[in-house]
A and B are shown apart, each in its own frame.
Chain A
Amino acid sequence: MNWILLAVIMILVIWIIASYNTLISQKNQTLNGWKQIDVQLKRRYDLIPNLVESVKGEMKFEQETLTKVIEARNQAISVQGQGVAQIAAQENALSGALRQLFALVENYPQLKANESVTKLMEELTSTENRIGFARQFYNDIATKYNITLQSFPTNTIAGTFGFKNAELFEITNPQEREAPKVSLDLN
């Protein structure tokens, strides 16, 4: 009788340790995913002044757009380290301003023929995509973490040790793509 009780306790302890470790590893993956977004955001902050600098000679009459881009960039830098919602709002404003600038560059054939401008634009386009994909990846692993966190019976462990839900990026831009329904079952 005694050792049945002992076995039950043992199993319980092993289960607690295993769930705790799963939570920890998923939490760290989520944090790492978040850092990856930061890396790309920094890359964007560095690229923007270069682009503005190299197009401003030709785009004398687009001062308004150029200032808007720079302002949006500085705004975005100022909210760094704050909550997901605030960061997302500023970053989306910056993306909007950049998109406007890109559309305007289309009207300047001299700029489009300029090698350093096209290179900068390619780098920025790529950075925009990287930010999008880094967020997508973050949302995927954060969702996985949240599901583990909220599922019974792991939620009891999460509650005891104070694990909190990870915040997700809302898709504010309707153009941003939703996940397609994918089935990997073939036969």
Chain B
Amino acid sequence: MNIYQQISSNQRLTWVFMIGFMVFFLALGIGFDHFYGSGYKYPIYTLIAFVFALTTSFLSYYSGDKMILFSTHAKLIDLSDPVQNQWQNVVEEMSIAGGIPVPATYIIEDPDPNAFATGRDPAHSSIVVTRGLLKILNREELQGVAAHEMSHIKNFDIRLMLIISVLVGSIVLISDWIARSTFSRRRGRDSEGEGGGGMILLIIWLAAAILAPILSQMLAMMVSRKREYLADASGAELTRNPLALSHALEKIANASAPTESINRGTAHLCIADPQGKSLAEESEHENFWSNLMSTHPPMKKRIVTLENMAYLKSE
């Protein structure tokens, strides 16, 4: 797969997610109208759900990156600090290597090393690092990390991930709310009684509403895992130095305490799993269970892949 196929696949998937999201909300709204009714002539809940889905998609496309930056307490780089100035330089170097505009650079005051990129396209993109990452990596390793993030930007991974994180986030919120409000409402309405057919439909509808967040999160994780390998590989192509990134990943893996300022919703954007999970880090191979619940491929496997690249190069 080359970069252009990767870009168009990402753009296609972005649309698929947006449409799937709208369909999900429409189904929710129709369900609401059907089971609770509003007493109005129009299917008012369906309309609300539709407008909500439309606005959320629109907002997440245009200002999702700002929401994410805000929720992680990222602030703009301070160039008077030599360490941050060096990082800014490294980012500019890699944007030259990738032939894309220089992204905005942000820092999070968190001692755990991590980094992520966000935005909707290369011209509207940001790279975020934690204080811890700047502290433990040397210049060359920082270059590896910057190249990895630059590849996410170049491939339009950032757009897909942005849409996914905002949409999955709102699905989780909504279905939590439905589950809660349904159970409290139904307790009150139990005496009224309903036909058996209606009951089955209601159960299906509820199950869908409750399963949706789990399924959509799993989908997001699957999409993200695959893109981590790709970004590692094309990042190494930018620096022409796969070992720099593999050393950086090793340091990050060894220091992996949870990154507190990055919540679950943003996890799949990061270079390393902010949960600091040891389960996935230990194994050299992916297995079904560790895969199912992790946003990132096992660190060991990523490191080995990069080392193989360096070995091939020196041959």
Contacts and interface: CB of A to CB of B under 8 A. Distances in A.
| A33, A36, A179, A184: most-surrounded residue (chain B CB, <10 A) | A184
Given A177-B240, A177-B241, A184-B1, A136 B312 contact: no
A33 B98 CA distance: 11
A184 B96 contact: no
A123 to B, nearest CB: 7
Contact of A178 (B97, B99, B236, B313): B313
Contact of B82 (A122, A130, A136): A122
B94 A133 contact: yes
B226 to A, nearest CB: 7
A182 B93 contact: no
Given A122-B82, A122-B85, A136 B97 contact: yes
Interface in A64-86: none
Interface in A129-187: 129-130, 133-134, 136-137, 141, 177-186
Interface residues of A, number: 27
Interface string B217-243: 000000000100110011011111110
B191 interface: no
Interface of B: 1-3, 6, 82, 85-86, 89-90, 92-94, 96-99, 139, 143, 226, 229-230, 233-234, 236-242, 309-310, 312-313
Given A119-B85, A182-B234, 7 more contacts: A126-B89, A126-B90, A180-B309, A182-B236, A182-B309, A183-B233, A185-B1
Interface of A: 33, 36, 40, 115, 118-119, 122-123, 125-126, 129-130, 133-134, 136-137, 141, 177-186
